[in-house]
Structure 1
């Protein structure tokens, strides 16, 4: 008998808790975390060193994930038209989520839109897109690029180093 009354009391407690749980006041409900500010791509620059060329992409805010991949050719995001950079091999650099414009639609990107570099490995760089929450850049090379990437902080930067034949004495 004792077991049945404990069972009945427990069942009634579960039903009561379930019914009152549905009426949790809004102030007690969990709140979503504030949305993180969109990272802004503000520039791209490059230079050469004794055994490598370097591309640096400047970002305001926290550097989001970056994907670098080889592609057959470079195309502008959106229209899909060919990017006019001479090269035989290409890298596409995609930063997302990110933008190269502010909330008012004004560009914050101060780097080149299209540039021929004349460096030993790197032949050109282009901003190829600021579209649907991603910023893409393209890089052109004469041969298959042997590259490595890393991140630098304070300020935030994404770096691609592309090896070339040594050009400095030493």
Structure 2
């Protein structure tokens, strides 16, 4: 009993002196250490590549969408919008989720020389099955028109995201969009 009271006294004294008090929480600390924001991301890389595939994946801190290209990385604009719009027609593409990212690539989904499609989604409303994802709610086709391809990415809420390109495989490249699960 005497040992318990000595330990209890020592702990209370340490707390009273501030030796065991945790440091203040930092306002700059973000989920998983990610320092991304939610503002538009843009690159103006010229390209002759075409879109060949769109796929998704889940990671510990974020959900990922990858756009495969058959050449060097394309220019892009990725931004939150009130609604997903098809180029040319102005048609609104319905997308599930509390927020919508419009992904616009400076790359068509057809061959520039022959006009033949290089990517034809089987189901334009569901390019990938994102059931069970923490952040993604829907990936929808918004068309390819005059050298641009648009994809609507429905997400749970307006969350931080990043966009980057990767070389390969082979002569191809990939546009990667990661959306964090939380702030």
TM-score by length of 1: 0.69
8 Å Cα contact 1:43-1:59 kept in structure 2: yes
Give the corresponding residue for 1:40. Answer: 50
> Deviation of residue 58 (structure 1)?
0.4
| Partner of residue 113 from structure 1, selected from 124, 139, 142 | 124
Helix, strand or coil for the counterpart of 2:176?
strand
**Contact preservation (8 Å) 2:82, 2:99:** yes
Which one of the candidate residues 67, 90, 93 is aligned to 2:100? 90
- Residue 38 of structure 1 deviates from its aligned partner by 2.1
Alpha-carbon offset, residue 141 of structure 1 = 1.0
Indicate the structure (1 or 2) with the bigger Cα radius of gyration.
1
What is the Cα deviation at residue 37 of structure 1? Answer: 7.0
Pair 1:154 & 2:163 matched:
no
1:4-153 alignment, distance < 5 Å: 38-96=48-106, 98-102=107-111, 103-111=113-121, 113-115=124-126, 117-118=130-131, 119-153=133-167
Q: Is the 8 A contact 1:78 1:129 kept in 2?
A: no
CA RMSD of aligned residues (A): 1.9
Number of residue pairs aligned between Structure 1 and Structure 2? 129
Query: What stretches of structure 1 of length at least 5 have no aligned partner?
Result: 1-35, 166-170
Structure 2-normalised TM-score? 0.64
